[in-house]
Structure 1
Amino acid sequence: MLIPGLEGARPDQLMPEARSVGPDGELFLVFPADSPAVRAATHAQDDELAAVLEITDVAPVSVPNRIRGRAWISGWLTSCPGVTEPGRMLLRLEVGEVCVDDLWGASGVEPEDFARSCADPLVDHEAELLQHLHSAHGDQVRGLWGLLGERDGCAGAEGAGAGGRAARETGAAAVPVALDRFGLRVRFTRARGGGSAADRSFDARFEFPEPVRDIAELRHAMHTLFEAAAG
């Protein structure tokens, strides 16, 4: 967290131990009671303290360049004494501006849209689902290369299945790095004969026909995706 006047504090002193989103879109952050952030919010004039919370989205799988995106939420901090357990303090961040920088580029999010948003239904299971896809369905994930068409020159007139075979024959690696209700993101790496320095990696996004609402719908969407790649 970035707070004007606390530039000398250690980064870990300004990192909340827990965070949650309130019903009106505000953020509730738990800090140790002796945190510089708590002291600053407690003694702020007009009971408001400007602050920016930076959130880094890291892929839960082992790949180079694991950062999938970043978000910055700026607003005003106030303290909520007596709400959490002893030794901890709850701070409320009223959201003024949200910025996101990810695979699709940088953009802003209106506070009203942030307040209306809801958590992705797969968020609590994403890590285990990605690991399962990588360990148990590695060949099928690699076969998704065939759906890229002319993008990498692997799938052409012979059809999608040819792309999957080309990926296997050239030793291409594929690691699923993100999964949400809208689709799957895979990182492909194709070796080019001269060692790792010549390898080339890129991310590809595979959208589901419709957003999934639970694990059962996810299974159906993944089967449909794998069948399309094998066809």
Structure 2
Amino acid sequence: MPSAAERTRTLVQSTCSSVLLVPGLTALHPVRLMPDSRTVGPEGDLFLGFPADSPVVRAATHAQGDDLTAVLEITDVAPVSVPHRIRGRARIGGWLTSVPGLAGPGRMTLRLEFGEASVDDLWGAEPVEPEDFRDAAADPLVAHEAELLQHLHAAHGERLAALSTLLGERGAGVRAPSPLRAVPVALDRFGLRVRFVEGRTARFDARFEFPDPVRDIGELRRAMHTLFEAAAR
């Protein structure tokens, strides 16, 4: 399974929504606290893009030294319609400063020095150490996951349902006269997670591991073919 640091790094480098919580600015509308870009520096610090007139930028610009603390909250929502769509949340806390000169006109980059973090997702809840986050890499499928899940959901529903043959007795209900729907809910280099749904109720999740971790779309295509082929036997 991916480590807590890898999962957090993947969320940071994904398109998930995020909000930067800064003391004194909690009454603002959340949209005004949402960075429109997120990158990770070589030391594990986060660089967040904001309009230059953002209240978050003003707070960071007028702060004394590194006294301004902040927390970046990231919420991960499944890109397909499924019960319980929130897949996870991550919180990264640290010290906020402005970094002039990195952004274009009308923009400002803020640096969030990594202090502490935690992730609570489909794998469980865990803390994340600064060194682990710094050294981790985002999942190689992060830029394509949403599109891939939507494609699987729209075009391969029957093949996804057929994966229940790999579940033994647990998958028997999926093949009953009133079968459960199989909805792909998460995808990473290690495998595919499918949520089996009855009506509007999620019955259970099943994880289907790839024979080997994949590194790109080509390897993913071969891994999915192997998985579907095993289910069809």
TM-score interval (norm. to shorter): 0.7 to 0.9
- Name the counterpart of 1:159: none
Distance 2:202 2:101 in 1: 54
CA displacement 1:51-90 (0-9 Å, x = unmatched): 0000011111122321111000111111001221111110
| Structure 1 counterpart of 2:225, one-letter code | H
**Residue 201 of structure 1: how far off its partner (Å):** 2.5
In 2, distance between residues paired with 1:188 and 1:175?
6
> Which stretches of structure 1, 4 residues or longer, exceed 3 Å deviation after superposition?
none
The reply to whether residue 12 of structure 1 matches residue 28 of structure 2 is no
Distance, in Å, in 2 between the alignment partners of 1:205 and 1:16 is 33
Contact 2:195-2:202 within 8 A present in 1 as well: no
Residue of structure 2 equivalent to 1:147: 166
TM-score where L is the length of structure 2: 0.85
What is the distance in 2 between the residues matched to 1:14 and 1:117? 26
1:203 corresponds to: 205
Tell whether the 8 Å contact from 1:175 to 1:186 is kept in structure 2 after alignment: yes
Give the total of aligned pairs.
Answer: 214
Q: How far apart, in 2, do the equivalents of 1:35 and 1:103 lie?
A: 34
Q: Whose radius of gyration is greater, 1 or 2?
A: 1
2:53 is equivalent to residue 34 of structure 1:
yes
Residue 180 of structure 1 and its aligned partner are, at CA, apart by 1.0
% identical aligned pairs: 70
1:130-157 residue CA offsets vs partner (Å, 9 max, x unmatched): 12222222111011112222335x1xxx
Could you list the per-position Cα deviations for residues 190-216 of structure 1 after superposition, in whole angstroms to 9, with x for gaps in the alignment?
Answer: 35xxxx5xx553222111121101112
User: Residue 157 of structure 2 contacts residue 182 of structure 2 at CA under 8 Å; is this kept in 1?
Assistant: yes
Q: Does 1:51 align with 2:107?
A: no
Residue among 78, 97, 111 paired with 1:78 = 97
Equivalent position of 1:172 in the other structure: 180
Alignment of structure 1 residues 20-169 onto 2, 5 Å: 20-151=39-170, 154=172, 166=175, 169=177
User: Contact 1:29–1:92 (CA<8 Å) still a contact in 2?
Assistant: yes
1:200–1:109 Cα change, 3 Å? closer
**Unaligned ranges ≥5, structure 1:** 155-162
Listed as ranges, the gaps of 5+ residues in structure 2 are: 1-19
SS of structure 2 residue aligned to 1:46: coil
Q: Which residue of 188, 195, 206 maps to 1:187?
A: 195
- Specify the SS of the correspondent of 1:206: strand
1:228 to 211, 227, 230: 230
Instruction: Measure, in 2, the Cα distance between the counterparts of 1:121 and 1:47.
Output: 33
Whether the aligned pair in 2 keeps the contact of 1:77 and 1:94 (CA below 8 Å) is: yes
SS in 2 for 1:220: helix
TM-score (norm 1): 0.86
Q: What secondary structure sits across from 2:65 in the alignment?
A: helix
| 8 Å CA contact retained: 1:61, 1:130 | yes
Aligned-residue Cα RMSD (Å) equals 1.7
**Contact preservation (8 Å) 1:41, 1:48:** no
Higher relative contact order, chain-length normalized (CA < 8 Å, sep 6+):
2
Instruction: Give the distance between the partners of 1:222 and 1:174, measured in 2 at CA.
Output: 15
Q: Secondary structure at the match of 1:47?
A: coil
